[in-house]
Structure 1
């Protein structure tokens, strides 16, 4: 029965539906400190219109949120970002970007639930922020790769030096990337999927 003023709820857009060849869908989280490029990465690589929960930054965040290195940043994620990318005809990744400010880290446990792997985005100007991020993933047993986002004004270091500074084991992949470029972000995700596959083959992924 139709009611006056009722509206038809639109169904999902054709481009948002999973390809019929998909056999596996994997949850991946994109984590890192405030302003490292998580929202940008999810948006650049997603094949569907990404869901974002960005809100305008206000004076209330002064002294609470550390926006070092991002003085022009005017919005921030307060819940999560969401996107999707097809890696192969059979494999689809669901991407969940986490909020970077410490006051929203209580949301991370829920976002980590069911995640098979993670991308840790790093800013060389604030390497110290990455330790808490990686520590939380290790506590949850979530395998991860590290992607160093190439900000124009950020110092560049050899990958070996960054591995040492971050105290990363040799088995954890680390690479440079530009999250503004879809191909670069996709390469990071491909590295993560290969890493997860290698862990599964050796029985390290449980």
Structure 2
């Protein structure tokens, strides 16, 4: 199963893919340079690298079920890469940071435009505001059946639980009326 991990710049996508992968992950992290000034919205003063193509990890669930995790870059200039990575994906785990929810909206729109099923994982950063799930659903305009979970991408078990929420959602049969 191909799963895409998407989200805005600095949402924790690389951290999640690297933390879950059972193989040495493929990473395309590069040092940010002055070339991105004025192009990339980078409100994180301590972040010095960015994904320029993808992160890739593999997670064996059983002998006949393997998850291939593709972490997409989060800046708008890399949206064509995200679109390419979405080909063949069964769904997407969309990470967000409550300090920068507005940065999530273009990613959600793109995922919806690509007709991918998805779950939203609110990455719990230190010092980030905690927002009630009902309010998050409202401001992100999430459908009632879209999974919304909290996670800490630095913790393997928390990342695993977010991924389980997505996979469970993907494997839940649609009601007859929605088919």
Q: CA deviation at 1:180?
A: 0.5
Q: Distance between the aligned counterparts of 2:178 and 2:73, measured in 1?
A: 26
Aligned length: 179
User: Does structure 1 residue 141 correspond to structure 2 residue 130?
Assistant: no
Report SS of the residue matched to 2:6: strand
TM-score by length of 1: 0.82
The partner residue of 1:107 within 69, 81, 104 is: 81
**Separation in 1, partners of 2:30, 2:109:** 27
Corresponding residue for 2:18?
43
Separation in structure 1 between the aligned mates of residue 177 and residue 9 of structure 2, nearest angstrom: 31
| CA–CA distance in structure 1, aligned partners of residues 164 and 102 of structure 2 | 26
For 1:121 and 1:171, the matched residues in 2 are separated by: 17
Q: CA deviation at 1:205?
A: 9.3
TM-score normalised according to structure 2 size: 0.94
Which whole-Å deviations, capped at 9, do the CAs of 1:106-147 have from their partners, x for residues lacking one?
111210000001000011111112111111111111100000
More strand by share: 2
Instruction: State yes or no: 1:171 paired with 2:145.
Output: yes
- Gaps of at least 5 residues in structure 2 are none
Moved over 3 A (4+): 200-206
Cα RMSD for the two superposed structures: 1.7
| Counterpart residue number, 1:124 | 98
